[in-house]
Amino acid sequence: MGEILVGTCSWTDRALIGSGWYPEGRRDPEGRLRHYAERFPVVEADSAYYALPSARTSRLWAERTPDGFVFDVKAFSLLTGHPTRRAAMPDGLAPEPRDAKVLDEVWALFTEGIEPLRAAGRLGSVLFQLPPWFRPGKRAGEFLQECVERTAGWPVSVEFRHPGWWRPEWADATRALLTRYGLTAVGVDMTQTLPTSVPPVTPVTSSRLSVVLRHTVPAVRPDDVLSGLREVGGLGDVGAPLVTRLAQGPFDPSTGSIGDPLSG
């Protein structure tokens, strides 16, 4: 049977800290992480999107969490094609994603920063949350291929924010593409009333890992999340089919011979 891990997008969210969930005596950085990790087995480290992670911080995270706990680290904004603040860049580097030297340096720093987590067995995956303007096409294909080459040996998950990737005309090809690259597709549970809404699909492209992000959960305390997810139905329309697949054991995704959405 597959193992199902449930967590939240951060343990340092301002609203969470102000909610009173963290008890007295555990409201400093170390105490908050230890308190969280005693109750959840996984967390998304979204801070790495806004600022390059440091090896020292990653080492502390590993030391403050128990064996079996994992961090899904969000890729730095420059590495996913998002606008990046100059203040978030290393000294002397401009936020220029088309500058090969800048990219090489940022990739090197990001790799160095998460290495302690990987070495300690705390790296669940590196999440590449790609922007709404990242659409199927030749340039997207080149970008993904470069990511695969630079992250060789890492567990990598990919969330497409452009709905075209999972619309019926492209869904099979997108699934085959990620499977071929060994990347985990991220299923997204979100409102379906917007033009940019990503279809509620649960593609399985890796036998090692599947990921569902739920963007529609209202602001609640983590203990309420735990209570609400006791039943499979609590994962919503997206989560339930995926849990069923995971519970059936390892999944062997088929690449098939499908048209490639990146050929255009």
Mean of the per-residue pLDDT values for the chain? 82
Give the count of beta carbons closer than 10 Å to the beta carbon of residue 120: 18
Name the pTM for this structure: 0.81
pLDDT at 14 over 90: no
Q: How far is CA 146 from CA 11, 135, 211, 221, in A?
A: 31, 16, 22, 39
Classify the phi-psi angles of 25: left when phi > 0, otherwise alpha if psi is within -120 to 50, otherwise beta: left
Amino acid at 116: P
Per-residue pLDDT tens digits for 109-159: 999 999 999 999 999 999 999 999 999 888 888 899 999 999 999 999 999
Phi, psi (rounded to 5 degrees) for 60: -65, -40
How is domain 14-247 classified at the CATH fold level? TIM Barrel (3.20.20)
Could you tell me which residue, 51 or 244, shows the higher pLDDT? 51
* Helix, strand, or coil (residue 242): helix
Please tell me the predicted confidence (pLDDT) of residue 216.
54
Give bridge partners of residue 125 from the DSSP assignment: 72
In terms of phi and psi (left: phi > 0; alpha: psi -120 to 50; beta: otherwise), the region of 258 is beta
C-alpha closest to that of 196 among 174, 164, 159: 164
Ranges of H-type helices in 137-184: 138-150, 168-181
Using pLDDT thresholds of 50, 70 and 90, give the confidence band for residue 222.
low
Identify which of 171, 183, 176 has the alpha carbon closest to the alpha carbon of residue 207: 183
Domains of the chain by residue range: 14-247
Instruction: Tell me the β-bridge partners of 130.
Output: 160
